[in-house]
Structure 1
Amino acid sequence: MEFIVTHVEQGVMTLTLNRPDRLNSFNDEMHRQLAASLTQAERDDTIRCLLLTGAGRGFCAGQDLNDRNVDPNSAPPDLGMSVENFYNPLVRRLSRLPKPVIAAVNGVAAGAGATLALGCDIVLAARSASFVMAFSKLGLVPDCGGTWWLPRVAGRARAMGLALLGEKLSAEQAHAWGMIWQVVDDEKLSAAAQELAMHLATQPTFGLGLIKQAIHAAENNTLEAQLDLERDYQRLAGRSDDYREGVSAFLAKRKPQFTGR
C-alpha cells in the first residue's frame, strides 16, 4: 500500500504513515489503507503488538487540507461525514484492539495526528517531537477522540488551554505533564519503540487486552461497577493458557513462554 507501510516481525506489526511530503497528513485513501492494516492486526493472532509511527520528519499533521473544499462560492464540505466515516472508526478500533498499541512520535503531531497519538496505549516521543492541537486555528473542534483523551491525559485546565490556544507543546513538556510515557533522543526512538513493542509481543496478550479495556472502562464507571468488572475480567484471565504458564514458570523459577491465549 502506498500510504501505509506495513512490516510484521516477531509478533509486532509496525504501521508507518507514509506521506512524508505532506507530513503524513490524512487523505481518504490513507484512511482506507490504514483500516485494511488494522483488519489484519485484528484477525492475525500472531500479531501481538501494534506500533504506529510516521515516515520522514513528522508523525502526522492531521487532515490534509488540500482535500478540503474551501471555495466560498461552493457548498461547504461536510466535515462531520469525514469524522463519522474515517476518524471515529479509527479511534474505536484502536481503543478496542485487544493488543497493546504503541505510538512512536518521530516529529510534529498536529490536529488529528496529535489526538491519534495520545489515544494510543503507550506513547514514546523523540526529543524534538511536538504536539499541536491545531483545530482552533481553523475554527474547528478537536476530533479523533481529542475532547475525550485530552482532559484525561492532561487534566481539564491544560486540556482547555491546549485546545483553545493551539500552542505547540514540546515532547518534554508533554512528558512532564504525564501525557506520554517516555521521551528519547531522536536517533534512539525507532530502536526504543521496537524494543518495547517486541517485549510486549512476548507477554500475556489476552491479559494485556483485558487490562486495556478495564482502564478504559474505569474512566466512566463507578467504583462499584469497576469492582464488578475487575471480578469478571479476572475470571476470564484466570482461565487463560497464559495464566497457567505464568504460575508454572514462577513455581519452576524459569522464564515464562506466553502464547497470548
Structure 2
Amino acid sequence: MKRIKFGIAGRIARIRLDDAERMNRLDIHLCDELIEAFDRIAADGRVAAVILTADGANFTAGGDIAIFRGAAEEVREGVWNTVGRATQVVQRMRSLDAVIVAGLQGYVAGGGLGIALASDIVIAADDAQLLPAHVTLGAPADGGLSWFATRLMGSRQALDWMLSNRAMHADEALVKGLVTRVVPRDKLDDVVAGTAARLARGPRTAQSLIKQLVYGAETAPLAGHLDAERAAFMAVAGGAEFAEGVDAFVAKRSARFSEE
C-alpha cells in the first residue's frame, strides 16, 4: 500500500493515512487502499478495535480537486468514480463489527470529513478544524457528510454550517456532537491508542452488537428496537464472553475477555 500504513496485531488494526505531502487528499487510489484494509479487517474475525489516524499536520484536506478539470463528460466520470469509492469506504466502516477509533488533527475537510465522522469514536486534537468545503466548489456533499452532520447536529445546525462553509474548531465540534473528545495535540496518538486498547480487552461480540443497536436506533420504532435488543442479548447468552462477564461480576473481579 502506498497511501496508507496498515497492520493488524491481535485484536487491534491500525490504519494511518500516509500521504502528508498531499495533505492526505482523497482520490480513487487512497479510497481503494482503505477499502482493501477494511475488507481485510472484516475477514480477520478477531479485530475488536480499529485505529484510524493520519500523518502530517492535517488529517485530510478533502478530495483531490485538481482531477475534476476537463471536458464535462470526463468530469462527470471522475466525480462518479471518486465519490463512488468514498461511498464504499463509508459503507464498509459502518458495517464493520469492530469499533473504529479516529484521531483527528489540523484540517479535516470535504469528503474526508465524512469518512472521519463515519468512525464510531472520534477523538480530536485541540488544533483540529472541521471544514465542509463543498459549497465553495459549487458542489453539494459526499462521503456521507450531510447524513452524519444532520444526525449528529440536527438539520438546522447542519444546513447553516455546510452553507456557510465555516471551519468549526474542535471545542465547538465537541459541543455539537461531531466529536467524542478533545485532547491536546501531543496527546492525541496516546489517547487514541489507549482507547483502542481498552476496546480490544472488551467483549468483542457485545461491543459489535452495541454498535449495531445504537445505529439502528436512529431509524427504528421503539417496538422493533426492543425486539432487536432482545435478539442481540440472546445472541450472547450462553456464550463464553457472557459467561466470563457474569462470573467476574459475581466474583467481584475484572473480566478477562481476551488474553491478548
TM-score calculated relative to the size of structure 2: 0.94
| Structure 2, gaps ≥5 residues long | none
Deviation of 1:104 (Å): 0.3
Deviation of 1:83 (Å): 2.1
Could you tell me how far apart the structure 2 residues matched to 1:185 and 1:36 are?
31
Deviation of 1:179 (Å): 1.8
Preserved CA contact (<8 Å) 2:39 2:92 = no
Deviation of 1:72 (Å): 5.3
Aligned amino acid, residue 52 of structure 2: L
Residue equivalent to 1:44: 44
Deviation of 1:243 (Å): 0.7
Could you tell me how far apart the structure 2 residues matched to 1:60 and 1:49 are?
22
TM-score calculated relative to the size of structure 1: 0.94
Alignment of 1:1-261 (within 5 A): 1-68=1-68, 70-71=69-70, 75-78=74-77, 79-84=79-84, 86-259=85-258
Deviation of 1:45 (Å): 2.7
- Mean CA deviation greater in 231-240 or 115-124: 231-240
Preserved CA contact (<8 Å) 1:15 1:51 = yes
Deviation of 1:177 (Å): 1.6
Deviation of 1:108 (Å): 0.9
Deviation of 1:178 (Å): 2.0
Could you tell me how far apart the structure 1 residues matched to 2:234 and 2:62 are?
40
Aligned amino acid, residue 248 of structure 1: D
Give per-residue Cα distances to partners, 1:76-103, cap 9 Å, x unaligned. 333233322x111111110010110011
* Aligned residues between the structures: 258
Could you tell me how far apart the structure 2 residues matched to 1:119 and 1:87 are?
11
Closer, same or farther: CA 231–57 of 1 in aligned 2, 3 Å? same
Aligned-residue CA RMSD in angstroms? 1.6
Closer, same or farther: CA 73–47 of 1 in aligned 2, 3 Å? closer
Closer, same or farther: CA 210–82 of 1 in aligned 2, 3 Å? same
Closer, same or farther: CA 67–73 of 1 in aligned 2, 3 Å? closer
Could you tell me how far apart the structure 2 residues matched to 1:126 and 1:156 are?
26
| Structure 1, gaps ≥5 residues long | none
Deviation of 1:167 (Å): 0.9
